Amino acid sequence: MKRFLKIITFGLGRIVKWGCVAHMLFEHVADVVILSGPSMEPTIVSNDVVIAEKISQKFKMLKKGDIVIAKSPRRPDQFICKRIIAAEGSSDCKSWVPRGHVWLEGDNRSNSIDSRVYGPVPQGLIIGRVAVKVWPLGSAGFFNRQTSNV
């Protein structure tokens, strides 16, 4: 019985340890995201799987042209995927962007609800920068700033 308890305790310890490591990675480093909706077509289409890194947001390294995942300013229970068109202090988007905000637009401007509708977005709503498309494999690759394609 003691041996059985020792094996169970050891196994549970490993599960908890690796669970904590996974939690830290997904919370602070990167997350895997399945995207849906037409607003970023043709760059990203529904059911594409991407990796969103969170380091750029934490260290305030986001730039114009980055594709980001953010909480929706209208519905905080939903997430949006858009491109940064203008950063704070800029008026590139026909509207001045206040400090601590960014202007987000979808690449498919004719089918995107974005900053043109809800205005500048607080940077605090940004979860991470889309860095890599991993699925489908045929279009997998890294995203570059200020480009519309992978």
Query: What positions carry a catalytic annotation?
Result: 39, 82
How would you classify residue 73: left for phi > 0, otherwise alpha for psi between -120 and 50, otherwise beta? alpha
Angle at 63 between CA 61 and CA 66, to 5 degrees: 110
